[in-house]
Amino acid sequence: MSVFKGLKPIVYGGREVWPLIEGGKGVAATNHASSGAWAAAGGIGTVSAVNADSYDPTGKIVPQLYPQLTRRERHEQLIRYAIDGAVEQVQRAHEISGGQGAININVLWEMGGAQAVLEGVLEKTRGLVTGVTCGAGMPYKLSEIAARFNVNYLPIVSSGRAFRALWKRAYHKVAHLLAAVVYEDPWLAGGHNGLSNAEDPRKPEDPYPRVKALRDTMRAEGVSDDVPIIMAGGVWFLREWNNWIDNPDLGAIAFQFGTRPLLTEESPIPQAWKDHLRELDPGDVLLHRFSPTGFYSSAVRNPFLRSLEARSERQIPYSRVSAGEHTVQLDVGVRGKNFWVTPVDLDRARGWAAQGFEHALRTPDDTVVFVSGAERDTIRVDQADCMGCLSHCGFSSWKDHDDYSTGRLADPRSFCIQKTLQDIAHGGDIQQNLMFAGHAAYRFKQDPFYSNNFTPTVKQLVDRILTGD
């Protein structure tokens, strides 16, 4: 096999590895089988430590059940599941790797109990985990935790500004364990993205100047050019990144693949999900803001997402008193008379009610959305069953500390992300659940490597990537 020109191994965790990192994908979409195989192929495999699966003595996945009566008790159960599952996944991945490559773990800082989970996993996997990647929030404490367990840390950022804030506040104290900085393109990456309020979700920006600005920031803070920036989001063929490799303006560069490893023999996602990836066209992945985290995220625009889009479109503002243009009282979908709307919105609301969306649910933004009886019932059950999977949840108003409430009204325009990600990862309907994917997923259909329904092993995929394709 001929390796793409200019691509050289890097030293990570005391050994040479290819600068190819497996993206650690959320709930059960990256596990020991895929990450162990990625490491065995000479790269850096990444076990997802987000509510990872455990197994019973027969090898079957242990269902994660929450019979406890209170959210706080369910949250504590979730932390126990998360630690047990991630520890088992790391141990299995390490065995599969055969001492090759390296094993990282990935956590979302905004997941519920993130710090407790991370500390619990690292305590029980000493010597097996080389580094921790962490994004979805500002993980200031990541470097402090890494220092306690003597592992590398690899923060995920989407701008030089975010890195500077992390460095100034905390990371400069643990500079020796900063192994790399992951730049995740907020317009192209799958899953939760770091798009800021100053950036337009409809106007993607070229990653090159943004990564150059990140490197300039790192240099200004005294970070060596030998600390790689890992380009994540939209990476498919390495030959398309030829001018990034051995580029003195950018320093050391590595590449993260999140979407391509979904379609491998070892990928743990269900076959229906794998099959659907082959059918996607450009534009079939939607950058949206329905996630209860409040972050933008990217997922396949299936009926599940379309129903959330439609729900938010069936929305009108109201006021508690007659004021301004709010001159008429809402007479469908609500109890009581303290809902004043515009005459135009009253007509729209009556139209939605006539179509079967006869229930109006209040949102935290002084609006109501109109839903069917079945939608209302599902929303209420899911909110009541909340197990505290996020540090702050817009859908259920859960918070994982202090008084355990965000203090805001629960938002019916969102959804229970734990429920849907667990469901799709374990064989649920791919049309009625959240299906995360990067925006380059349409390339499965175009790339001749996958023709005739070919599904590579992880080793075959890594070998293919190394050629430039």
Task: Determine the pLDDT at residue 219.
Answer: 97
Task: Determine the pLDDT at residue 25.
Answer: 87
**Tokens at 465, concatenated:** 């990537």
Q: Label residue 410 by pLDDT band (50, 70, 90).
A: very high
Radius of gyration of the chain (CA): 23
Q: How far apart are CA 106 and CA 129, in angstroms?
A: 11
Task: Determine the pLDDT at residue 3.
Answer: 83
Q: How far is CA 182 from the centre of its chain?
A: 14
**One-character DSSP codes across 165-181:** HHHHHTGGGGGGGB--E
Beta strands at 20-22 and 253-257: parallel, antiparallel or unpaired = parallel
Query: pLDDT exceeding 90 applies to what percent of the chain?
Result: 91
Query: Is the predicted pLDDT of residue 173 greater than 90, yes or no?
Result: yes
Q: How far apart are CA 418 and CA 77, in angstroms?
A: 14
Query: pLDDT exceeding 70 applies to what percent of the chain?
Result: 100
Q: Over the stretch 376-397, which tens digit does the pLDDT of each residue have? A: 999 999 999 999 999 999 999 9
Q: Label residue 1 by pLDDT band (50, 70, 90).
A: low
Q: Where are the domains of the chain?
A: 10-272+446-466, 303-425
Q: How far apart are CA 271 and CA 393, in angstroms?
A: 30
Beta strands at 102-108 and 131-135: parallel, antiparallel or unpaired = parallel
Task: Determine the pLDDT at residue 196.
Answer: 82
Q: How far apart are CA 286 and CA 274, in angstroms?
A: 18
- Which residue's structure tokens are 């299995």? 92
Q: Provide mean pLDDT across the span 412-439.
A: 95
CATH homologous superfamily of 10-272+446-466? Aldolase class I (3.20.20.70)
Q: Over the stretch 23-38, which tens digit does the pLDDT of each residue have? A: 988 888 899 999 999 9
Task: Determine the pLDDT at residue 74.
Answer: 95
Number of C-beta neighbours around residue 282 at 10 A: 12
Query: Is the predicted pLDDT of residue 86 greater than 70, yes or no?
Result: yes
Q: Over the stretch 103-157, which tens digit does the pLDDT of each residue have? A: 999 999 999 999 999 999 999 999 999 999 998 878 889 999 999 999 999 999 9
Q: How far apart are CA 311 and CA 255, in angstroms?
A: 38
Q: Over the stretch 298-336, which tens digit does the pLDDT of each residue have? A: 999 999 999 999 999 999 999 999 999 999 999 999 988
Closest CA to 236 of 41, 30, 438, 7: 438
Q: What is the pTM of this model?
A: 0.94
Calculate the average pLDDT of the chain. 94
Q: Label residue 171 by pLDDT band (50, 70, 90).
A: very high
Q: How far apart are CA 123 and CA 27, in angstroms?
A: 21
Task: Determine the pLDDT at residue 377.
Answer: 97
Beta strands, E only, 272-378: 285-288, 296-300, 315-317, 328-329, 340-341, 359-362, 367-371
- The tally of CA atoms less than 13 A away on the side-chain side of residue 36 is 18
Alpha-carbon dihedral 161, 164, 166, 170, rounded to 10 degrees? -160
Question: Is the CB of residue 306 less than 8 Å from the CB of residue 288?
Answer: no
- H/E element holding 347? helix 343-354
Measured CA angle at 207 (ends 205, 211), to 5 deg: 130
